[in-house]
Structure 1
Amino acid sequence: MDNLAFLALLACPLMMGGLLYLIMRGTQNKDHGAGNTLQTEKLQENMSKLMKQNEQMLEEIERMKRSR
Structure 2
Amino acid sequence: MNLHESATTPRKELLTREEFEREFGGPKKTKFYQLLNDNTLRAVKVGRLTFIRRSDAEAWAASLPTYSQTR
TM-score tier, shorter chain, comes to: under 0.3
- Between Structure 1 and Structure 2, the one with more strand by share is 2
**TM-score, with normalisation over the residues of structure 2?**
0.22
Bigger RCO (CA 8 Å, 6+ sep) = 2
Indicate the structure with greater helix content: 1
